[in-house]
A and B are shown apart, each in its own frame.
Chain A
């Protein structure tokens, strides 16, 4: 058999036909970012598929947006295919200029009408700007339960209840909770915690277009907030820190790494001596004590006075050429390598 025949065979087997709508189902509300389906939506579809398979239910997804400028092919149709490829059994699409970017009232009315009719068992959003606004309002409107920032799910099959895990105190521990009776069960999932499903290119489908009357948003965007600067976060409260030590090599790369991670630059006393940082950026018990979520020590040997000042960091990664460097006793992840060789590759892998 040649490849084209195999393709044809696969294509025929993967045509998804919409099952008769009996209501229920596991629904995912899609987020669109930069003209494509957001990764968190794919992750949500993966989670939805797992739940649906155990419950014997179908996975549906709903996509709101607008057509491309020339009006020929609605962008949403192309995106809908991604949803099928990610495992949706059915896709609903609402296509209108009023839905071009997220605004609460227009999106809410479409989804409320849809869910009122479909009566989903579970609705999953990404824990995004869109999800944090829509999920609670829909939940309140429909007397549904809602748990936000979910990082894991399991199923109580007897009661068809989704049991979820969400972080407390930014992940110090986790709470397990569920809404045993309220339906629909709404969840928002934390981006990057569920694995995205394999995108099956042979899986296709015909999205159904939703009819609706567009409503006006109540909140108007006036424009960019040109003269607004968020208050500066002191180093002691920064959540992400990249710190340089004497062996850091090119300090420019350290700064780029901090920018790539959205963090602040700091260093040890060696970095101060090298003139790379100011005295208010020294991580040391004799300087600043820090407690970030992530601390990357680049070329820092890590003496006791430095290490004591980062002991509250939730995660420490250290890069240093000397395998006996004391920093490796406190770091969670140790890279025994020359920062000059690691940083360029690291920056490349992060973009």
Chain B
């Protein structure tokens, strides 16, 4: 079984300071961390591999291959994946690739999966830590023409099927599907393992530990030559208002309670359950 894990990186927010009034972001320490949800996706893949190796499914060898979530400035997160237990990692680079968005990446990754010789399972994080977007997994599933399971808490895969625990309403359900499937894993769903020390040292010492593919080789397979063009255009930033502390509510305790309830609801995204109550 081949499991492809798609990993990205995000700027560590503890290294940035946001000055709301100035409308500026100061990067004090530019350090990147593996996307937390993607790290859980890798953990899910490695647990499947461990289960297979533990002899529960003796006939299956499992290969875990790491691919990038988007254009990356370097291959560090892919090395982390190798150090943690992935068997292969492929870094993508190339002219015109820098601005690729999720729509373009889905096409590129679909071809990359094919170039690997196909896969039985693709796992990635359900949401990105910074922009909160969860598009990549489903977009990739659409391009591959595979089913998807979004927002997994637990993943098991064997004998051509996958078994996933996911949230439904206020509870949790077990779902299953035939492989191949794209699964997205929630951040915090699984406690990710630490990389093995010796493996880490070896991976980081070996310059060619991560394979490198030029995207233009992949793009030529794609029907649409403009496939790398991003659809999304960034137009700037907006900043929340300066935090105003010490705002006193007025009125009776009941009136204050109502005002607080409204604010809390807005903050937590809660509304009355149905439209009927309006």
Contact = CB atoms under 8 A, between A and B. Distances in A.
7 contacts: A36-B274, A135-B135, A173-B20, A192-B270, A296-B264, A317-B264, A333-B263
Contact of B231 (A168, A173, A179): A179
A146 interface: yes
B174 A345 contact: no
A54 to B, nearest CB: 18
A346 B130 CA distance: 33
The list of the 6 closest CB pairs from A to B, nearest first, reads A218-B147, A349-B261, A345-B257, A136-B138, A341-B253, A36-B274
B237 A173 contact: yes
A147 B232 contact: yes
Contacts of A149: 132-133
Contacts of B246: 328-329, 331, 334
Interface residues of A, number: 94
Given A143-B103, A173-B240, A220 B176 contact: yes
Contact of A294 (B106, B150, B264, B272): B264
Of B20, B137, B270, the most chain A CB neighbours within 10 A belong to B270
Contact of A182 (B134, B135, B150, B231): B231
B153 to A, nearest CB: 6
B151 interface: yes
B258 to A, nearest CB: 5
B143 interface: yes
Contacts of A345: 253-254, 257-258
A337 interface: yes
Contacts, number: 257
Interface residues of B, number: 85
Nearest to B19: A173
A33 interface: yes
A146 B135 contact: yes
Interface of B: 13, 18, 20, 25, 102-103, 106, 129-139, 141-143, 147-151, 153-154, 163, 165, 167-168, 171-178, 181, 188-191, 231-240, 243-249, 253-254, 256-258, 260-276, 278
A286 interface: no
Given A146-B103, A231-B191, A346-B261, 13 more contacts: A129-B168, A133-B148, A136-B135, A140-B143, A175-B236, A178-B233, A179-B231, A179-B233, A192-B265, A220-B176, A223-B173, A333-B263, A338-B253
B31 to A, nearest CB: 15
Q: In terms of DSSP, what is the predominant structure of the interface of chain B?
A: mixed
B232 A231 contact: no
B176 A137 contact: no
B138 A140 contact: yes
B236 to A, nearest CB: 5
A221 B138 contact: no
Nearest to A39: B271
A165 B234 CA distance: 10
A2 interface: no
Given A176-B236, A261-B264, A334 B269 contact: no
Interface in A178-225: 178-182, 190-193, 196, 199, 218-225
A151 B249 CA distance: 26
A12 interface: no
Contact of A174 (B148, B240, B271): B240
A132 interface: yes
Of A40, A139, A331, A336, the most chain B CB neighbours within 10 A belong to A139
B267 A219 contact: no
A187 to B, nearest CB: 12
B132 A222 contact: no
Contacts of B231: 143-145, 179, 181-182
